[in-house]
Structure 1
Amino acid sequence: MCWSATADVVAGVGVCAVGVACAARVRRAAELPLAALPLLLGAHQLVEAAVWASDGGRGPATVVWAVIALPLLAVWVPAGTLCAAPPRARRRLLVPLAVGVSTAAVLGYALATGPVTAEIRGHTVGYAVGLSHPALLVAGYLAATVGALLLSGDRWLVGLGGLVAVGAAGCWALWRLEFVSTWCAVAAVCSVVLYGWTRERSAVAGTRAGREALRG
């Protein structure tokens, strides 16, 4: 996620703060899961700080990191997007949600039955999970998460999906080179985008409430 334990803590606290601000702006309960996503991403970075502190290995922090990164996010993002999306987009969003649930089931089984290890590699952390057909699972994961955002029908969320796709590709390339882990920066930018989304949704809800009050 980040290039050191300190960077993970700083980024994690900052992203959590954005998540609190996002959640505070929500006017509709259906928008809360997606608005709270920065809180999950920030907590994820704080967990990785513990992985750094324990010098990798197979400890509880490593397992928690993998659970959040793999099965949980594979369901959280498409489910949250489905809840928050306009009615016209909800039927098509059932597809990435189904893909996410299926992918999460396979990932969850792998985590429950096999070892999960973390290894410090310079300015990156390498995680190893015993997966069969990893390329297919990666495709399912991206279809569920990025695909849901791109199909949401909301300009902010579509933009977020594009940002995640580009950011993930860049982060993966740098991580493969074992140069530096930069996903925390992408998570921070995505959290700011979600704050913009909640701010706009709050303004729209306020305008509608005002119109209804005048009509009443």
Structure 2
Amino acid sequence: MREVKRSRALLFGATPLLFALHQFVEAFVWLGLEGRIGTTAFEWAVFLFMLYAQGILPLLMPLAVLLLEPRGWRRHAIAACTALGAVVFARATYAVLARPTRAVIEHHSIAYHNAGTDAAWIAGAYVVATCAALLLSSHRVVRWFGIANVIGLTIVLLVKGYAFTSVWCLYAAVLSIMLFWQFRHHHVNIDRPNCRPAQ
């Protein structure tokens, strides 16, 4: 966070930290599934993991990209992704609050099941809201983060589709290290107003 130079980049700059906290929460899900923590703590861990993964993330990611984007057609397109993310946020958050989520271990991964978030249209809107916003960005590192996420999403869907939420979130968390590396070590910072946009 110390590397972020403009307030509009704070949300995007916080992405690696938020993913790290999310993975920390899932560690408690694992402990609960192994019977090493109480039922109440386990249920709260499942709830918090799903609330961020299914509800908050599809709004947070396009909003973070929108705040970075200068005026132009890309900003309007990313705003549309953010609006779609808000719809997913509302629907998924309601589902996580209103319906129970079941977490089970399947083939050494955690599978989360919630009847309100398993609908195909929610999954499709989720992917469009998060990945399209990244791909539409005028900032190169944001686009590469989006491309890598789409590649990872496809692989996870084919190999571990039954545990998609858990495995893709882990993949995105590890991948977000590239954002820290960009802020920390590169001479070109995505939060500078004179950053050259993509053509």
Same fold, TM exceeding 0.5?
yes
In the aligned structure 2, how far is the partner of 1:150 from the partner of 1:127?
A: 27
Is contact 1:71-1:105 (8 Å) kept? yes
Q: Match of 1:83?
A: 67
Is contact 1:25-1:202 (8 Å) kept? no
Q: Match of 1:63?
A: 47
Name which of structure 1's ranges 122-131 and 28-37 shifts more when overlaid on structure 2.
Answer: 122-131
Is contact 2:102-2:112 (8 Å) kept? yes
1:176 aligns with 2:178: no
Q: Match of 2:3?
A: 25
Aligned residues: 183
- The percentage of aligned residue pairs carrying the same residue is 26
Runs of at least 5 residues in structure 2 that lack an aligned partner in the other structure? none
Q: Match of 1:187?
A: 173
In the aligned structure 1, how far is the partner of 2:70 from the partner of 2:130?
A: 17
In the aligned structure 2, how far is the partner of 1:150 from the partner of 1:63?
A: 30
In the aligned structure 2, how far is the partner of 1:133 from the partner of 1:171?
A: 16
Q: Deviations 1:85-144 (Å, cap 9, x if unpaired)?
A: 222232221110000000111101111111111011231001011127711111110111
In the aligned structure 1, how far is the partner of 2:70 from the partner of 2:129?
A: 18
Please state which structure has a larger fraction of its residues in helix. 1
Q: Deviations 1:30-62 (Å, cap 9, x if unpaired)?
A: 001011011111111111110010117761100
From the CA coordinates, give the structure whose radius of gyration is larger.
Answer: 1
Q: Deviations 1:123-168 (Å, cap 9, x if unpaired)?
A: 1001011127711111110111001001111111111111101111
1:93 aligns with 2:43: no
Give, in angstroms, the shift of residue 171 of structure 1. 1.8
In the aligned structure 2, how far is the partner of 1:177 from the partner of 1:145?
A: 20
Q: Match of 1:153?
A: 138
Is contact 1:157-1:197 (8 Å) kept? no
Return the letter of the residue paired with 1:187: A
Runs of at least 5 residues in structure 1 that lack an aligned partner in the other structure? 1-22, 209-216
- Which structure 1 residue ranges, 4+ long, deviate > 6 Å from structure 2? none
User: What SS does structure 2 have at the residue aligned with 1:24?
Assistant: coil
Name which of structure 1's ranges 132-141 and 151-160 shifts more when overlaid on structure 2.
Answer: 132-141
Aligned-residue Cα RMSD (Å) equals 2.5
